[in-house]
Amino acid sequence: MTTVLGCIADDFTGATDLAGLLARSGVQVSLRIGVPTEPPKDTGPFEVIALKSRTALVAEAVAETRAALAWLKAAGAQRFFWKYCSTFDSTAEGNIGPVAEALMADLGTDQTIYCPAFPENGRAIFMGNLFVGQQPLAESPMKDHPLTPMRDSNLMRLLAPQVTQAVGLADRLTVAQGAEALRAKLEALRAQGTAHVVVDAVANADLEIIAQACRNMPLMTGGSAVAMPLPDLYLADGTLSADAPKVPAPQVAADTVILSGSCSAMTNAQVAAYLATGAPAYQLDPLSLAQTGSADVLAWLAAQDLTAAPLIYATADPDSVKAAQAQLGVAEAGALIEKTLADCAVAARDAGARRFIVAGGETSGAVTQALDVTRLDIGVEIAAGVPWTFCTSAGQQIALTLKSGNFGAEGFFDDAQKRLG
């Protein structure tokens, strides 16, 4: 059927996060890994294209995102959503702003919004400042992110160096007055030549207002949560048919492997909680991998009972990460971990694993590419923004969950296994 909303995400876990929230509507959501090489066919009402562009060079990120937009337009979409992290992960050069401006140019629109708020996961925006729980972004663990350290909490200041046009704010006082007041504010800002508008949100009710006010914009941008109300709005106004297709969950064997490359504070806690259960686990050390390769971990994996859901992890505290990066370089340390976890995923699949729990955006990208996964159907949510997905790899039906580093509760790895049954 014709695609109603075309979405582009800058990493793999962000794409499943967005797809999972859209799938709460019960309507089919199709997630494509990378820009499809074939023309659109068998498309769903909601199409999400997952890129691995968050930390790519600006020119590469822009080119890839424009290619994704062209495919979604060919699929029939007339409304588009550019999804990035709810902690606005980027550098002074981009990639959030440059990509947004490129999409605006291709769509012929002169204004878009930025709203990375996700109240269910503790992300709120007030007077243009992003909070992680009760901490300003620049005081949260994100200040030490190894690739995109966030040293400012103000989204206008973060965005301004990345774009060529004016940046403005629609604050919480405006949003609280309702959708009409927000639309009027956006029009006033447009009349002043303000192309990029940060919109405050501190609760789900704010997201409903923002979605109502902005749902007919050619382009919305933000975290996944501001897109969550869109399916119901489209169903209510007839944009989306009430008999839109749904996808049943397939039965998948219980053999499981857990692969964790994220070094976020929450993933550290999740790894610690899983280790406390006594489950089999193997910790990767990038310095050792640089010297001896992945043979040891692959041998360990081959000896494991996959029904016990073994964990292979590179998750570590910030000081350990910095020490490895100092010796190997940031890119080399990350690449070693990603390649090793990707090799482990393939080995586990060939040994019979059919359920894969993956933590970390870069790790998720490496794993899905190694498994040659090109399309995912979205299933049940494990935690806010983290669904199980279903796909095929080497002719086998598998279940895959791709978790953003900061998402989920401490018991996530157990919760994921129980949720699928």
Helical segments of 139-203, H only: 155-159, 172-175, 179-191
Which has more pLDDT, 1 or 125? 125
What is the C-alpha to C-alpha distance for residues 228 and 207, in angstroms, rounded to an integer?
8
Mean pLDDT of the 273-295 span: 93
Q: Residue 157, by phi and psi: left (phi above 0), alpha (psi -120 to 50) or beta?
A: alpha
CA atoms of 258 and 200, how far apart (whole Å): 36
Between CA 338 and CA 345 the distance in angstroms is 11
HSE of 314, CA atoms in CB hemisphere, 13 A: 29
The arithmetic mean of pLDDT across residues 225-236, rounded, is 95
Alpha-carbon distance 369 to 362, whole Å?
11
What tens digit of pLDDT does each residue of 156-207 get?
Answer: 999 999 999 999 999 999 999 999 999 999 999 999 999 999 999 999 999 9
Neighbours of 138 (CB within 10 A): 17
| Residue-wise pLDDT tens digits, 360-374 | 988 988 999 999 999
Note the pTM of the prediction, 2 decimals. 0.81
Q: How many CB atoms lie within 10 A of CB 300?
A: 15
Per-residue model confidence as pLDDT tens digits over 201-217: 999 999 999 999 999 99
- The pLDDT tens digits of the residues spanning 380-403 come to 889 988 989 999 999 999 999 999
Pick from 8-22, 128-142, 326-340: least confident: 326-340
Nearest CA to 421 out of 288, 250, 216, 219 is that of 250
Please, are residues 27 and 51 in contact by the beta-carbon 8 Å criterion? no
Token pair in block for residue 251: 């039965």
Please give the domain boundaries of the chain with CATH numbers for all domains.
Answer: 5-237 (3.40.50.10840), 256-420 (3.40.980.20)
Distances (CA, A) of 99 to 63, 309, 348, 362: 9, 39, 36, 19
Q: How far is CA 94 from CA 55, 135, 143, 225, in A?
A: 9, 23, 17, 22
Give per-residue pLDDT as tens, 244-255. 666 667 889 999
Whether residue 87 has pLDDT greater than 80: yes
Helix or strand run (H / E) with residue 267? helix 265-275
Assign 148 a pLDDT band (cuts: 50, 70, 90): confident
User: Residue 390: how many CA atoms within 13 Å on its side-chain side?
Assistant: 16
CB 228 within 8 A of CB 24: yes
Those residues whose C-beta lies under 8 Å from the C-beta of residue 194, and which sit 6 or more positions away, are: 111, 165, 166, 167, 168
